[in-house]
A and B are shown apart, each in its own frame.
Chain A
């Protein structure tokens, strides 16, 4: 039997007349990674704030670790760890002092605290800068220190609000491998992200959030089946050429205005060569050619009929 680490139903929240959450239902089984995917302004952080007791929803209920977030807020706080969008470290304290502060607040007795601090510094590769004030840390180091501070209390449920936004690709990969290690220890993770790739890499289940509503939910594979896969785009100079190409290439989709033909493809060299050979055979030449892998925009276009740009307004 699996139990729910996080369960929410009908969460609503509005700021004045702007609806931010419009009836959110969630169920995250213990020991899994759940990712909330959405563009800026979709309501990801508000959802995290409600689930972590920082903010009270206008309607709906939520239970985290079996406790109601409103009536049993303290029990919820004792069970969770939260790493927000902006690294919440004390800049005037050193890395070691930041971690010790957390150990003291969790009332870890004497030497136990020192040991945990040393372990975390080691694990997050922060030992060298342990005596430096956090204000001197790079973005990636700060994020690591932030996550390490979250882990001091050994929480079983961790909320990560856009843990890699603004990080360079290398720091992002480091973050991913840290998250995978946590999952291996059986921690439940609630992750918000703007990156489809990140959700795909880490999550067991993904929910897509758009203007305060969940527009899709499922495993990464289920979700990808709903969106256009990798495809090839051929751009032509005249409508006649487009017509000709559309006739010889089966299951292509045409866009008459842009003079573009879209074909599903696996993006591999064999299939691409076959496609080019076929065009050659009929003496059709395209003006432009590109291989397109789906991104968040495609997900949104497929699931909501509009792109993330529209949402951001």
Chain B
């Protein structure tokens, strides 16, 4: 017997398969950005280590964010086209509709992350992480993807139209650039630097960077996990209430 969540997940996969631009956005765009930074700009930054080693953790995060725009749009079309009301008046657990979207989003993110890691190795990425550290990296990426997924779904449900839903995810795509993803924060101008140091992505990136170099600092890991759990919780509660409200 197929559980409703699995049925919904399969529906989301069919959507992705029939809409190849979403795959392009989610998987190819981060790779393009990576090639651009590593080949074009990378040598111009002096970060003390090989640039690909510096940038890969941040690009993992960027890979997660790029997939979110299409998630927001697809959730929003479910609402605006009325099919969500069909699911709501059926005896189907209400969570199934949203968990389908979240799981599809996390899996697309993982695909993008795998692509980034593959390309990174091709570009000479040389991390010192052992098996346990790699597990840690995957854990953080999944947690972040899960948290960002719930937040994106909430934004998709709350948006008035698919266009606004697509725009709602733009800050999430921009945020990594104002963090330690591409360049160290201590080289940024005043104002931006403080913002970059305290925004949620920086501790998450530093945690990934620490794990890949074999030594994460507790001062990064704790805020990183706290941000992820906090964002997931806010996203989940917001999504649930928006789902109930929109009839």
In the assembled complex, B82 has its CB within 8 A of some CB on chain A = yes
- Complex CA gap A74/B93 in Å reads 9
Are B86 and A92 in touch, CB under 8 angstroms? Answer: no
- Complex CA gap A53/B2 in Å reads 25
Q: Hey, which chain B residues are within 8 Å of A153, CB to CB?
A: 90
- Complex CA gap A223/B23 in Å reads 58
Are A88 and B85 in touch, CB under 8 angstroms? Answer: yes
Chain B residues 104 to 151 lying within 8 A of chain A, measured CB to CB, are none
In the assembled complex, A14 has its CB within 8 A of some CB on chain B = no
Minimum CB–CB distance for B86 against chain A, Å:
4
Minimum CB–CB distance for A128 against chain B, Å:
21
| 0/1 string, B68-87, CB within 8 A of A gives 1 | 00000000000001110111
Chain B residues 85 to 110 lying within 8 A of chain A, measured CB to CB, are 85-92
Are B86 and A149 in touch, CB under 8 angstroms? Answer: yes
Chain A residues 69 to 91 lying within 8 A of chain B, measured CB to CB, are 74, 77-78, 80, 82, 84, 86-91
Minimum CB–CB distance for B223 against chain A, Å:
40
- Complex CA gap A84/B92 in Å reads 18
Q: A49-B247, A74-B91, A107-B2 are in contact. Are A82 and B86 (CB under 8 A)?
A: yes
Q: Hey, which chain A residues are within 8 Å of B4, CB to CB?
A: 105
- Complex CA gap A111/B18 in Å reads 26
Q: Hey, which chain B residues are within 8 Å of A80, CB to CB?
A: 89
Q: Hey, which chain B residues are within 8 Å of A49, CB to CB?
A: 247
Minimum CB–CB distance for A81 against chain B, Å:
8
Partner of A88, one of B7, B18, B82, B247: B82
In the assembled complex, B11 has its CB within 8 A of some CB on chain A = yes
In the assembled complex, B14 has its CB within 8 A of some CB on chain A = yes
Q: A105-B4, A105-B92 are in contact. Are A88 and B14 (CB under 8 A)?
A: no
Q: A52-B89, A78-B91, A84-B82 are in contact. Are A90 and B11 (CB under 8 A)?
A: yes
Are A54 and B89 in touch, CB under 8 angstroms? Answer: yes
Are B18 and A82 in touch, CB under 8 angstroms? Answer: no
Cβ-closest chain A residue relative to B1: A107
Are B83 and A89 in touch, CB under 8 angstroms? Answer: yes
Are A88 and B81 in touch, CB under 8 angstroms? Answer: yes
Q: Hey, which chain B residues are within 8 Å of A82, CB to CB?
A: 85-86, 89
Minimum CB–CB distance for A178 against chain B, Å:
18
Chain B residues 7 to 22 lying within 8 A of chain A, measured CB to CB, are 7, 11, 14-15, 18-19
A residues in contact (CB < 8 Å) with B: 49, 52-55, 74, 77-78, 80, 82, 84, 86-93, 97, 101-102, 104-107, 109, 133, 149, 153
> In the complex, given contacts A82-B85, A82-B86, what are 6 additional A-B residue pairs having Cβ atoms less than 8 angstroms apart?
A80-B89, A86-B81, A88-B86, A91-B81, A105-B87, A106-B90
7 contacts between A and B (CB under 8 A): A77-B90, A80-B89, A82-B86, A86-B82, A92-B14, A102-B90, A149-B86
